[in-house]
Structure 1
Amino acid sequence: MSKKVKKYTFRKFINDAHLWLGIGSGIILFLVCLSGTVLTFEEEIKDLFVKDFVVADATGNTLSMEQLSESLAAEGIVSTITIPESTKEALKFSVKTSSKERRGTTYFVNPFSGEYQKEQKSSLEGFFLTMFKMHRWLLMDTEIGRPIVGVATIIFILLAISGIVLWFPKKLKWKNFKPGFKIKFKANWKRINHDLHNTLGFYACIFLVIMSLTGLFWSFEWYRDAGSAVLGTKVFGNRGGGPKFESAVKPNASIKSFEEILYIASAELAYKGETNVAVPVQENDVYTITKTNTSRFSPVITDKLVLDRDGTIIHKELFSSKPLNVQIASLIRPIHMGTIYGSFSKIIYFLACLVATSLPITGTIIWIKKLKIKKSKKKQPVLA
């Protein structure tokens, strides 16, 4: 009796593509997802290993910004000041040793006493830098590692799509869908492993696809250009801080104090939130103020205000007034990193990345199991 040849169906093709794409990219995807999982709560973890700067005498009168800046004069030139929403937290002063210095040194300052402390580096800085390099470049040279990660990310998107197709049962009845929504922990370990791959992959899929689609903006210039064309605005096109503004104040004009500038900014951006102020250093510089509205749906959205030294409003840029395409383009980074909804979205991203890290492992175990079944079937004698 001859053995009946099974027809090669579209579902079988999807299954084979899912299998071999997963096997071929498994190690790379494991490393990228593992490092991404670790990086989700990078700042929170690093803060655990740094001694807090305690603000004492929170009931007293605060010193003026001019006085606080003078207390840091020995360290350099104050370039930016970050004012937290809570008055019980320290101010952050960024200090440069010269105007040519790109990034200054951050100092935590007590607004009541003027005492300050240089920002401490966490003992985990090196570890997280390694995780970042692994996530972006696999610890390779950027010209080599970046495209490898990019190709692996494209493969991951194909794996996610094919995985969803395979998740759907052959017969579309509700009783056939139910097993795909839960993990049968009372079953044997092979079934549990299959459910971990199939069910957890289904729940995490949408978040993993979003991470992958946004992550490709860092991998390929052609993808970034294509995304910019689709959105109708430049993605990552505002890295230089946007248009430059210069002071138009005349020599004899009345110059506002920092507190007066801050009062004007608070009136224009009348809500609670962290305020970052770029302080004029040279005569033609102006105040550039960005403020985060903590009551918004996203804690990473900021509004911008540019004031001349006499208090004249030069430029006002509200996120809500921007066109939708510009809003989306500016949110690609927080969407990819999971900071878009603060701690809530970071927890979801952490769990999704954890699932993504496990998928190459559970998938490989499923593949090995199928290989053993095929080998055992080949050993069985065929009846004539």
Structure 2
Amino acid sequence: MTFKKFLGQLHLILGLMTGLVVFIVSITGCIYAFEHEIQEISQPYRWVKEKGTQMLPPSKIKEIALEATDGMLVRRIYYEHPETSAIALHYADDAPYYYLTFIDQYTGEVLKVKNLEKDFFTIILYLHISLLLPYGKEIIGVSTLLFLVLLISGLYLWFPRNKNKKAVRQKFKIKWKASWRRQNYDLHSVLGFYTCWILIFSAITGLVWSFEWFEKSYYYLLSGGEHLKKSELQSKVEEGASINTPMVDRVWQKVLADDPEILGITIYLPISPEEVITTYSSPDYGTYGRLDWRYFDQFTMEEYPALDFRGRHEDATVAQKIMKLNYDIHTGGMLGLAGKFLMFFASLISASLPVTGFLLWRGRSKKKRQKSSHRQEKIYS
């Protein structure tokens, strides 16, 4: 068996093994591509009119959110833009709720309390990352890893044996006037070739979230041999101390004062005396590549340096900036709306590859059975 035949068999086996998962992940990624834009249009409670007055501080937003939800634990507060509502995120490790409270950040009016368990895009997201199954994240991770092998092997198989100009040109276009089997082959081969360059990056950035060993290996390669460290920061707690809520407001004010270009800021509220106050802010709306992550002691307001890539953007190395861009690369948001369209069509084609691949395998299997039966007829005739 030649290497190309072996690779063809491997490509077939891995395709049959992962086809259904790749289809689900791709089609949900396709639907989720414009989640941000669709929600902005369809959910008017996300928008407020900038009043030219001071925004309400996190402690006040938390107080309003607690009252609106009968005391549901508030874990984060988002100020995404001067013209959007502040959002309180409610969830608990041992409770079945996962809610958002939308609040006018200038007047304090509660605009919407939303149960994300019933939210369309939340369901699509969890289908994308876990198939809504126990151990679904692991299944997605393994399938994505095999899909990466499929893309690389498919790229190798695409290269024509015949190097004359006509044969090479045919590899770049679909022969629409040919039989449906030929069209199916071209849809799999030609579209697969065009999109594999995008899907390889999509698979790699997806694997960064799937496996810690992959994230560490990826960073090691990007940084030229530097090991990825995890930030495990704690506040300096004195005996008998309780959560220092007013300090959250002071941290919020400091972060805003330090950088006048900030459009949005998110506050992670500490729920124990040991936790630090974590914030991330950005000069951009809707993308996450230039986030500034900062960490403060909730009692002394001492700022701690980040140990991993989640730190100040201006201090980040090239490898750390690439890691910060991981989400924007994965979604295409790095290139703006054009990048999202690109990722939308790439995901759509990715969803078609298991289908055209299956039809290709089924057609060839049927053809082999027909040839085998013809041979047997000749022997016994």
TM-score (norm 1): 0.71
Inter-partner Cα distance in structure 2 for 1:138 and 1:68: 34
Deviation string 1:292-343 (CA, Å, 9 cap, x unpaired) is 12299x5443113456799977357422312333334444455445444454
Kindly indicate whether the alpha-carbon contact (under 8 Å) linking 1:31 and 1:135 is maintained by their aligned counterparts in 2.
yes
Q: How does 1:204-219 map to 2 (within 5 A)?
A: 204-219=195-210
Q: Which amino acid aligns with 2:25?
A: V
Inter-partner Cα distance in structure 2 for 1:163 and 1:309: 53
Equivalent position of 1:268 in the other structure: 258
Q: Which amino acid aligns with 2:292?
A: D
In the alignment, does 2:9 pair up with 1:16?
yes
Inter-partner Cα distance in structure 2 for 1:40 and 1:201: 20
Inter-partner Cα distance in structure 2 for 1:373 and 1:355: 26
In the alignment, does 2:365 pair up with 1:371?
yes
Kindly indicate whether the alpha-carbon contact (under 8 Å) linking 1:233 and 1:329 is maintained by their aligned counterparts in 2.
no
Q: Which structure: greater helix fraction?
A: 2
Q: What is the SS of the residue equivalent to 1:52?
A: helix
In the alignment, does 2:52 pair up with 1:52?
no
In the alignment, does 2:155 pair up with 1:161?
no
Inter-partner Cα distance in structure 2 for 1:377 and 1:281: 70
Kindly indicate whether the alpha-carbon contact (under 8 Å) linking 1:201 and 1:356 is maintained by their aligned counterparts in 2.
yes
Inter-partner Cα distance in structure 2 for 1:24 and 1:102: 33
Equivalent position of 1:91 in the other structure: 86
In the alignment, does 2:321 pair up with 1:327?
yes
In the alignment, does 2:292 pair up with 1:303?
yes
In the alignment, does 2:108 pair up with 1:119?
no
Kindly indicate whether the alpha-carbon contact (under 8 Å) linking 2:79 and 2:266 is maintained by their aligned counterparts in 1.
yes
Choose 1 or 2 for highest CA Rg.
Answer: 1
Q: What is the SS of the residue equivalent to 1:88?
A: coil
Inter-partner Cα distance in structure 2 for 1:133 and 1:64: 32
- 1:217 deviation in Å? 4.1
In the alignment, does 2:26 pair up with 1:33?
yes
Q: Which amino acid aligns with 2:86?
A: L
Inter-partner Cα distance in structure 1 for 2:126 and 2:346: 21
Inter-partner Cα distance in structure 1 for 2:214 and 2:80: 37
Q: Which amino acid aligns with 2:357?
A: G
- 1:192 deviation in Å? 2.1
Q: Structure 1: any 5+ residue segments left out of the alignment?
A: 1-7, 249-255
Equivalent position of 1:252 in the other structure: none
Going from structure 1 to structure 2, the CA distance change for 1:267 and 1:14 (only over 3 Å counts) comes to same
Q: What is the SS of the residue equivalent to 2:114?
A: coil
Kindly indicate whether the alpha-carbon contact (under 8 Å) linking 2:233 and 2:276 is maintained by their aligned counterparts in 1.
no
Q: How does 1:1-384 map to 2 (within 5 A)?
A: 8-45=1-38, 50-55=43-48, 58=50, 61-62=53-54, 65=57, 74-75=67-68, 81-85=77-81, 87-93=82-88, 106-121=100-115, 125=119, 128-129=122-123, 131-142=124-135, 145-220=136-211, 222-224=213-215, 226-227=217-218, 230=221, 232-234=226-228, 237-238=230-231, 242-246=232-236, 264-277=254-267, 288-294=278-284, 299-305=288-294, 314-315=303-304, 317-378=311-372, 379=374
Kindly indicate whether the alpha-carbon contact (under 8 Å) linking 1:286 and 1:308 is maintained by their aligned counterparts in 2.
yes
- 1:161 deviation in Å? 1.6
Kindly indicate whether the alpha-carbon contact (under 8 Å) linking 1:299 and 1:342 is maintained by their aligned counterparts in 2.
no
How many residues were matched structurally? 359
Kindly indicate whether the alpha-carbon contact (under 8 Å) linking 2:46 and 2:85 is maintained by their aligned counterparts in 1.
yes
- 1:17 deviation in Å? 2.9
Q: Which amino acid aligns with 1:301?
A: R
Q: Structure 2: any 5+ residue segments left out of the alignment?
A: 239-245, 306-310
Kindly indicate whether the alpha-carbon contact (under 8 Å) linking 2:35 and 2:121 is maintained by their aligned counterparts in 1.
no
Going from structure 1 to structure 2, the CA distance change for 1:311 and 1:276 (only over 3 Å counts) comes to farther
Q: Which amino acid aligns with 1:206?
A: W
